[in-house]
Chain A
């Protein structure tokens, strides 16, 4: 029994860590621009495709890449997809910054479809096998088992999130980002380059999303051009659950959503004596989300939204 519980915890942490990494991208962009960046799921997908491209270039398309090479590829993928994110912001969002708030959202939706179609045209619509970049040996402990891939995902995700937290909380650039997120106009009056702060956000968010894509594809072993759609939606949910706009909130939301899903799968059939099967997992998770939002409309760690702050933010 303890083995079972422990195993489910491992499962929940792995999928939750991936949700959290992607949720960070949604929440950071929202924090600064009040924009739901619907193209983020495609950044996640691009991360997987670009990684495989780089692995093929390095001659390890079938697996067996050394840890140094994998680390190098992770840095490159972060930069490439982050760069794509910055470009997207310049091309698709910046010209619309002074129009209604719906315009950039529609722009994001259109771009998301365009990117999916483009990858489908270039790489084909069929699922592509992704080599495992982390070793897949299995560790057994206390009746549960964990692959090194799962462990790697957990450790990497935690490191990345910790790094981001330090960067935003302690570094000078982090202060700039926080200032712009609090009130862009005042930040500009104080001599902060708002455009640069926004570019930085669009480098970090998509970059982290792309790394999540790499980890995800390596864990599940396949990637498809539409892989970002469902998982993007889940991560967006996680961001709302944790409080959109809040970075620790996104991490908490991701891990919590992973736990809720696993709980739904494992407990529902037992508790209801089979009336509600494992297929009700998502309904369970989303019902929990609704309950949380009923009591805390701004999410678990979200800022309390008052009338006053709403006026500031919507002004942007």
Chain B
């Protein structure tokens, strides 16, 4: 009796399986995204991927596009190049994955690009190091302004608006931090500024007091810090505690409220950060996006959430125009011309983004305020 029941139910399951499952799955395509979902940078990686999730859910709810619904495969690269190559392999070997959104950090992308090229995976890249698009890979597209603009804007602002002449540079020797601070130094020297010193710290360092004491003796007008959170906040706090009264300039990683809470309001005050997106209250579309995000995830949109959202848009647009395959999307990205809430998006033949905007913020009375843009 029991055996009969079991075989009947197995038979029923099979029937149901063949009847229902393929029908529901045939049109579902997988898009992988890799970024830091654990570790100190997790807060950025998670809110960035939430942006993608939000867009895919909206598309799926509306019945999909061109007969396809979208599933996001979230991969954790821990912001570590070694971990990155492992998850890259995983995404490559899964045939249902049609595109990869990431990695979040330039250093991780640089390590993984050869793997993605071998499996012809189109990569929408989020790290901003210019070397990403300079290596001749045909499958990589950089969605954000690269570090040339990020190094340039603060240099011009310091020289033309603040009329200050000397800078000390500190960086963490990572692909992103060192790259952006070198570009800053080059630009600053070209327009007549003087770089007093370049110092390096280790990416796991928390104590900068000894270095700050040395910098204090050099009396720079400005300190440019090419690093990521939480080091940016730790450095700002220790700078303030030691009374180093230089203006602090940071790349995009510093544009987060965590910088203000972790450094403390006093230490954060007056700090500058460049960022690739305008404030969420600067246009109706962005305001609506921030509201949708809050309704879905019960928290404020992260600084990169809007980019996650438009990266989702780029993929869906590609599927609509070409096909839901790796090769189809590669073609689609090359000829992309998409209007988004962050402006029109198109790529140059190298994979670099055309006309990427960049914004400069300063902490004033405990809040980031827009002070300049390019």
CB B372 to nearest CB in A, in angstroms, measures 28
Complex CA gap A262/B262 in Å reads 24
Number of interface residues of A (CB under 8 A): 38
Cβ < 8 Å to A, chain B residues 207-228: 207, 209-211, 213-214, 216-217
Q: Find B201's partner among A8, A147, A231, A278 (CB 8 Å cutoff).
A: A278
**Which of A12, A14, A227, A269 lies in contact with B199, CB distance below 8 A?**
A269
Could you tell me which residues of chain A, from 197 to 249, have a CB within 8 Å of some CB in chain B?
Answer: 220-222, 224, 226-227, 230-231
Closest to A262 in B: B210
The one of B211, B238, B262 that contacts A129, using a Cβ cutoff of 8 Å: B262
Interface string of B238-271 (1 = CB under 8 A from A): 1001110000000000000010011110000000
Residues of chain B within 8 A (CB-CB) of A269 are: 197, 199, 214
Q: Are B258 and A127 in contact (CB under 8 A)?
A: yes
Residues of B within 8 A of A127 (CB): 40, 229-230, 258, 262
Q: Which residue of A lies closest to B202 (CB)?
A: A279
Q: Considering the complex, which residues of chain B in the window 1-59 have a beta carbon less than 8 Å from any beta carbon of chain A?
A: 37-40, 42-43
B-side contacts of A33, CB under 8 Å: none
Contact of A138 (CB < 8 Å), options: B38, B206, B217, B241: B241
Please state if B214 and A266 are interface contacts (CB–CB under 8 Å).
yes
- Contact between A138 and B214, CB atoms less than 8 A apart: no
Query: Which of B38, B39, B197, B264 makes the CB contact (< 8 A) with A221?
Result: B264
Q: Nearest chain B CB to A312's CB is how many angstroms away?
A: 39
> A261 in the interface, Cβ–Cβ < 8 Å?
yes
> Could you say which of B39, B197, B202 contacts A125, with CB atoms under 8 Å apart?
B39
* Distance to closest chain A CB from B76 (angstroms): 10
Smallest distance from the beta carbon of B298 to chain A beta carbons, Å? 14
Q: Which residues of B contact A279 (CB under 8 A)?
A: 173, 200-202
Is A221 a contact partner of B262 (Cβ separation < 8 A)?
Answer: yes
From B214, B229, B237, B262, contact of A265 by CB (8 A): B214
Does A310 have its Cβ within 8 Å of any Cβ on chain B? no
From the candidates A15, A149, A222, name the one contacting B230 in the complex (CB within 8 A): A222
Interface contact B204-A230, CB-CB below 8 Å: yes
Q: Is the CB of A129 within 8 A of B213?
A: no
B144: chain A residues within 8 A (beta carbon): none
Q: Tell me whether A221 and B263 are in contact (CB under 8 A).
A: yes
Given A138-B243, A147-B241, A279-B200, are A12 and B210 neighbors across the interface (CB < 8 Å)?
A: yes
At the interface, yes or no: B108 with Cβ under 8 Å from chain A? no
The answer to whether B234 has its CB under 8 Å from any CB of chain A is yes
Q: Does A120 contact B (CB under 8 A)?
A: yes
Interface string of A276-297 (1 = CB under 8 A from B): 0111011000000000000000
A15 touches B209 (CB 8 A): yes
**Most central of B213, B237, B262, B263 by chain A CB within 10 Å:** B213
A109-137 CB mask vs B (1 if < 8 Å, else 0) is 00000000000100011110100100010
B153 within 8 A of A: no
Which residues of A have CB within 8 Å of B233?
221-222
For A1-23 the 0/1 string (1 means CB < 8 A from B) is 00010011001101100000000
CA of A11 to CA of B207 in the docked complex: distance in angstroms?
9
Residue of A nearest to B171 (CB): A279
Separation of A12 and B213 alpha carbons in the complex (Å): 11
- B210 near A145 (CB under 8 angstroms)? no
Known contacts being A278-B200, A278-B201, A279-B173, is A220 close to B234, with CB within 8 Å? Answer: yes
B209 to chain A, nearest CB (A): 4
For B42, give the chain A residue with the smallest CB separation. A125
B264 neighbours in A (Cβ, 8 Å): 132, 221
- From the candidates B38, B42, B199, name the one contacting A278 in the complex (CB within 8 A): B199
Taking the closest CB of chain B, its distance from the CB of A20, in whole angstroms, is 15
A222 and B262: CB pair below 8 A? Answer: yes
**Which B residues are in CB contact (< 8 Å) with A224?**
40, 230
Closest to A117 in B: B38
> Which B residues lie within 8 Å of A230 (CB)?
204, 206
User: Which B-chain residue is minimally distant from A270 (CB atoms)?
Assistant: B214
Which of A7, A120, A124, A278 contacts B242, CB < 8 Å? A7
In the complex, chain A residues whose CB is within 8 Å of the CB of B204 = 230
A269–B38 CA distance with the chains assembled, in angstroms: 35
Min Cβ gap B214→A in Å is: 5
Structural contact, A145 and B243, CB atoms closer than 8 A: yes
**Measured CA separation A278–B198 after assembly (Å):** 9
CB distance from A254 to the nearest CB of B (A): 14
Chain B 174-214 interface 0/1 with A at a Cβ cutoff of 8 Å (1 = within): 00000000000000000000000111111010110111011
The interface residues of chain B lying within 8 Å CB-to-CB of A281 are 202
Chain A residue, CB-CB nearest to B78: A125
What is the CA–CA distance of A127 and B213 in the complex, to the nearest angstrom?
Answer: 26
Complex Cα spacing A120 to B241, Å: 30
A294 to B64, CA, bound (A): 68
Shortest CB-to-CB span from A232 to chain B, Å, is 12
Q: How far is the CA of A125 from the CA of B35 in the complex (A)?
A: 14
Residues of A within 8 A of B242 (CB): 7, 145
Of chain B, the residue at the smallest CB distance from A6 is B213
Instruction: Find out whether the CB atom of B38 lies under 8 angstroms from the CB atom of A220.
Output: no
Residues of B within 8 A of A124 (CB): 42
Alpha-carbon gap, A222 to B264, bound state (A): 10
Add 14 more A-B contacts to A230-B206, A261-B207, A269-B199 (CB < 8 A).
Answer: A11-B209, A11-B210, A125-B37, A126-B43, A136-B241, A138-B243, A145-B243, A220-B206, A221-B263, A222-B262, A262-B209, A265-B210, A265-B211, A265-B214
Q: Can you give 30 contacting A-B residue pairs, CB < 8 Å? A: A4-B216, A7-B216, A7-B242, A8-B210, A11-B207, A15-B207, A125-B37, A125-B40, A126-B40, A126-B258, A129-B258, A129-B262, A138-B243, A140-B243, A145-B241, A221-B237, A221-B263, A221-B264, A222-B234, A266-B210, A266-B214, A269-B197, A269-B199, A277-B198, A278-B199, A278-B200, A278-B211, A279-B173, A279-B201, A279-B202
Which 9 A-B pairs give the minimum distances between C-beta atoms?
A279-B200, A265-B210, A11-B209, A126-B43, A125-B42, A262-B210, A125-B38, A127-B230, A7-B213
